Chains A and B, each alone.
Chain A
Amino acid sequence: MSSSPPPIISVRNLTKEYKIARRTEGFIGAVKYLFSRKYDTVRAVDRVSFDIYPGELVGYIGKNGAGKSTTIKMLTGVLVPTQGEVKVNGIVPYRDRTKNGQNIGVVFGQRTQMKWDIPVIESFRLMKEIYQIPPDIYKQNMEIFCDVLDIGSLLAKPVRKLSLGQRMKCDLAIAFLHNPKIIYLDEPTIGLDILVKENIRSFIKTMNAERNTTVILTTHDLNDIDSICQRAIIIDSGKIVYDGSIDAIKARFGTHKVLHIEVKDNLRQGDEVVQLPAGVTVQEFGEHRIKLHLNKEAASLAEVIQTLIEQYNIVDISIEDVSIESIVKQIYQEGWHE
């Protein structure tokens, strides 16, 4: 590791606490709230530490309220941490927002950087001015973005007339316009259809490959993580529960399979599948369908299928890998034990 460059993002014991006014219900409660406030302190982010190296593609994963956005906001300089240190490209983001702003590009999922009532191209021109982008780089980037993201035909339209997917593509292009070293994407694919998602994913990967842009991504869509990122940081209740490669997660859970079985028999709730080996759990049972979860290390796939064939009149069987979604859920619940 001695030859690797220093981390571009370095976070140590980063903590953010919010004070939330405590309210009691009813009219009396409302009146009390008016005159005296008691506060509860909530730790949204709790002593988080990690390093991210130039060119890494990192997925920052967690449930709603786990502390993802709060972390991103501290990294981008929007929020001042309660405790701990954060350094991005050698700069403390909230202390030097101007300098930091020049190094980063940000997409906040639902919010647009563009001005609502005027044509898209105007916002690009404004960003060119704000980030002082040299004309040749601006021209070159616009050509690439129009090509890869297919936004050329949108530039003359007012922003309010764009669809969500079109708007997101434009916002993504704006975030990359000044060749930032680091890109933060907070839910970039939320609410988008699969084609736009694919387009956005391949664009991010291309930019990373060609410019070594460091990408930090939060998302609810684990397919984003699966197709874009090499590394995942999983956060729950403000604490990191996993930090490592996506491959390690897959290797760990790669022996887990999901079986979908369709049968002719009319299954009734309450009937149980008998004599299943250990390591198999029933996830669904009813109508004409059975869904099983099994760990190949504990139970033999052949044995399970054999048991089922003896018991039921089987129409169809399909075997799937466990989705990252359920893997993450499992890590949330059980933690990551080596």
Chain B
Amino acid sequence: MARYIRLYWMMWIQGIQAQIEYKSSFIIGNVATILGQVTGIALVWVLFQKIGHLNGWSLPEIMLIYGIAALPYGFFELFFNGVWSLNRYIRMGDFDRLLVRPGSSLFFILADQPMLHGLGNIATGTVIILLASRQLDIRWDMCNLLILGFMVAWGTLIYISINTITACTSFWFVASGTNFLYLGQRFRDFTVYPLDIYASPLRILLTWVIPFAFTSFFPSTYFLDRDDYRVFVYLIPVIAVLFFGIASFVWRIGVNRYESTGS
């Protein structure tokens, strides 16, 4: 384990080093991410000038969900975004190189391409959380910070799992590119709002199938003292571990099915 952490750290630093080589791309990526988040929250704000609340949820409450949603997403991008390059690896035949190394190929691919613009998501998320907390009177004492930290960590693991599973489609359909990843990621857009505004099929989907609700909405209910969702809060680590187990299993099947390129 210690070996993997050291190794990971080294790969991450090198990945960042490679990205900083292209300064403009780094700056544009982050500015775009921050602008994207700001327009997203501005839209919510505009909406709330017309309506007082959304299915009983106030603007600051929704801002809190919005902000918390940005954190695990940002950490995923910043640290484990590599699964997005799996398709390119397979298409170019470069995946071979990872398979001949001692160690988990999933590990090597996850650490491959950190995206620095994850920082943009983490930064805007934090600001939005702080703005919301002022109005909601949430204190970020040691205990709350620790709990939030754990929730973000589990949320990041859920992101890893969902993205790994969708990325694995490349083992079967190389030509699909990153379409399945985009498709999976689209469901993320729903989870910046309270889950109970959706009809039950979508609720079930976001809870049990593509469990993004455990990365934003359920964690937020804890800080909003919504005890009716408490059982889902306890389920966060269970869901994270379960889905990571599924992701590892799908990965293993995919790798054994992998056919490499012609030459």
Residues of A at under 8 Å CB distance from B? 18, 64-65, 69, 73, 76-80, 94, 97-102, 104, 106, 108, 111, 113, 115-118, 122, 125-126, 129-132, 158
Contacts and interface: CB of A to CB of B under 8 A. Distances in A.
A129 B260 contact: no
A132 B262 CA distance: 32
Interface string B220-263: 00000000000000000000000000000000000011111011
A111 B98 CA distance: 11
B179 interface: no
B16 to A, nearest CB: 10
A76 B100 contact: yes
Contacts, number: 80
Contact of A111 (B93, B101, B258, B262): B93
A77 B105 CA distance: 12
A117 B21 contact: yes
Given A117-B18, A158-B21, 8 more contacts: A18-B259, A69-B263, A76-B100, A99-B102, A101-B102, A108-B93, A115-B15, A129-B6
A98 to B, nearest CB: 5
Contacts of B260: 73, 78-79
B3 A126 contact: no
A100 B105 CA distance: 13
By secondary structure, the B interface counts as helix
B207 to A, nearest CB: 34
A130 B101 contact: yes
Interface in B4-57: 6-7, 10-11, 14-15, 17-19, 21-22
B17 to A, nearest CB: 5
Contacts of A77: 99-100
B14 A122 contact: yes
B102 A78 contact: no
B144 interface: no
A111 B103 contact: no
B106 to A, nearest CB: 11
Nearest to B13: A122
B104 interface: yes
Contacts of A94: 256
A122 B17 contact: yes
A99 B103 CA distance: 8
Nearest to A125: B10
Contacts of A18: 259
A293 to B, nearest CB: 31
Given A69-B263, A125-B10, A80 B256 contact: yes
B11 A126 contact: yes
Contacts of A129: 3, 6-7, 10
Interface string B75-107: 000000000000000001110110111111100
Given A111-B93, A115-B14, A125-B10, A79 B259 contact: yes
By secondary structure, the A interface counts as mixed
A131 B99 contact: no
A155 B17 CA distance: 16
Contact of A102 (B10, B11, B18, B102): B102
A78 B96 contact: yes
B252 to A, nearest CB: 11
A126 B102 contact: no
Interface string B122-164: 0000000000000000000000000000000000000000000
Contact of B99 (A64, A78, A116, A126): A78
A129 B3 CA distance: 8
Contact of B102 (A69, A108, A131): A131
Contacts of B257: 80
A180 to B, nearest CB: 10
A78 B98 CA distance: 9
A108 B96 contact: yes
Contacts of A113: 97
28 contacts: A73-B260, A78-B99, A78-B100, A80-B256, A97-B100, A97-B102, A97-B105, A98-B103, A100-B102, A106-B100, A108-B93, A108-B97, A111-B96, A115-B15, A115-B18, A116-B18, A117-B19, A117-B21, A118-B14, A118-B18, A122-B14, A122-B17, A126-B10, A126-B11, A129-B6, A129-B7, A130-B103, A158-B21
B215 to A, nearest CB: 30
B17 A118 contact: yes
A125 B10 CA distance: 9
B14 A126 contact: yes
A271 B262 CA distance: 45
A73 B94 CA distance: 13
Contacts of B92: 111
Nearest to B104: A98
